[in-house]
Structure 1
């Protein structure tokens, strides 16, 4: 599939300069996506695939339905607008007003229902999609738990090779990939991408989440998917109530290290990334980019790394931070 058929775009690979020790650190800049995050890759692929299936069935009235009050919802709305189909997003009451305005700006119908994402999701599936008339072909856009989502996310791994963002020599020096994990969609996409590119098949992955949103760790400890009853975190895009079952499978089948840092470390990651590149990202992204700065000791999970070795960090983006928010993070970090 060509990029012109997808709402997502090719993104940059940039290097953190002036490092005096440790490996080379490269950032895959998914914050460049038009919707603000990597989520557009998966959502674009899901919506495109659904439209093609609808055509085969003779259905011409496709509508997209999402329950995410964050980046997945924005990606679903952007993809729907790109393909000229309607989109409905149900958000919990805790959703940020700025997200609601952005969704409306993308032409989405916004409904506020439920105390948290789970209740919003139940409403869109059981009260809206279940009661649609047969003329509508519904596309349920789950935020992270769908193979089509993972296939779409995997495209950024393909780009490293197809677009020659890494030379053949660089490919030999890649020792690890770092990504944040909430519901596991991005992680599953990374594994999918590594599997389908033989040059990177055996590269280990390091997943990062916060103590305040320990979805993956709790499930790893239990060796099964655990649903958390409550999550209070600055890293709201990591605040999934559960991890996808596929993520547990991937953890067992592909060499993966997992670390848990504090919300304040994630906030510090946002600050350091902005100070270095002038780019705003939210704490869900700050959690992974923090490993390039003050939490770089965690890269030791990949073993002894030389100055020629390469670690790629997925700068996944996010639309939940502005300059005022960043200044609040600065105050929080200083106070603690």
Structure 2
């Protein structure tokens, strides 16, 4: 179980290494009321995942598990790989990143630029995950899960604690709203447990995990998290609106959260204060 103490410890451990990203007020709209954007796309590597990666690798170093010769390994469609490669570089150890064949070229290029060893293979994240686990077992590298590890999740949770410091009277936080073509949490909540789902669509590179992690599912159930689904068309429209209206360039996975508001999949109550976490910017600007 992830607790506030875990998140507070992660915040202390990563202090000075993580950017405190700004919050900005969106233009007020009669339909949505007052909305704020948590600009986490301005985080190191352009994604919130730097928080969890640094927490995981620093904690591994504290326990004496981190070896200078083999470093860390992660399976990722891109963002978790970038985050862990960056964190490993900060600590001076190597990183090996297994990515699906469909990983965006912009993310693969960034991974190599950071200095990571990139191994591509398989059509989906699941194949990269299996290869990364095997690599960790063979080499002794510290395995960093893209999302389902206590220290990874606690580090990611510092986005929330930071936001609450900046906007203490927020009522609702929208984050990582699910595409209808990758309803991982939605299906798990309906089934009462994590289940495998088919994944596809414009945001599959970052929201394309076939099964929700046990940690994420337990938190969702315990805290009453709701799943909202949006279509690919709504995600594309929201991403375009963020660029056209605010000159904010984010990837499709980050735009999915805003799509819930823009398309009316989530309708705030009157005077409800809503924050939208824009969690990643690793995208090809030519497609904006």
Answer whether TM exceeds 0.5 for this pair. yes
8 Å CA contact 1:16, 1:24 repeated in 2: yes
Higher strand proportion: 1
Alpha-carbon offset, residue 274 of structure 1: 0.9
Per the alignment, do residues 323 and 160 of structure 1 end up closer, same or farther by CA in structure 2, a change over 3 Å counting? Answer: closer
Matched with 2:273 is 310
SS of residue in 1 equivalent to 2:227: strand
Conserved 8 A contact 1:91-1:110: yes
The answer to whether the 8 A contact 1:71-1:318 is kept is no
1:3 is displaced (CA, Å) by 5.1
Closer, same or farther: CA 2–53 of 1 in aligned 2, 3 Å:
closer
| Aligned residue runs from structure 1 range 20-169, under 5 A | 20-54=30-64, 61=69, 63-126=71-134, 128-132=135-139, 138-162=141-165, 165-166=166-167
Higher relative contact order (CA 8 A, sep 6+): 2
Give the CA RMSD over aligned residues. 2.1
1:152 CA drift (Å): 0.5
Residues 237-275 of structure 1 deviation map (CA, whole Å, 9 limit, x = unaligned): 111110112333223221322211101111111111111
Relative to structure 1, is the Cα distance of residues 262 and 53 closer, same or farther in structure 2, using a 3 angstrom cutoff? same
Contact 2:98–2:128 (CA under 8 A) maintained in structure 1: yes
Structure 2: distance between partners of 1:297 and 1:95: 28
Tell which structure's C-alpha radius of gyration is larger.
Answer: 1
What is the distance in 2 between the residues matched to 1:264 and 1:148? 35
**Structure 1: unaligned runs, 5 residues or longer:** 181-207, 327-336
The alpha-carbon deviation at position 277 of structure 1 amounts to 1.7
Tell me how far 1:43 sits from its aligned partner. 0.9
Evaluate the alpha carbon distance shift between residue 227 and residue 113 of structure 1 in structure 2; reply closer, same or farther with a 3 A threshold: same
Q: Distance in 2 between matches of 1:96 and 1:59?
A: 30
4+ runs deviating over 4 angstroms: 2-5, 57-62
- CA distance, structure 2, for counterparts of residue 20 and residue 101 of structure 1: 42
The answer on 1:272 being equivalent to 2:241 is yes
Distance 2:164 2:77 in 1: 33
Corresponding residue for residue 171 of structure 2: 175
The separation in 2 between residues aligned to 1:258 and 1:60, in whole angstroms, is: 41
Q: Which residues of structure 2 form unaligned runs of 5+?
A: 1-11
Q: Secondary structure at the match of 2:38?
A: strand
Whether 1:220 and 2:189 are equivalent positions in the alignment is yes
Inter-partner Cα distance in structure 2 for 1:43 and 1:261: 28
- The change in CA–CA distance for 1:59 and 1:260 in structure 2 (over 3 A counts) is closer
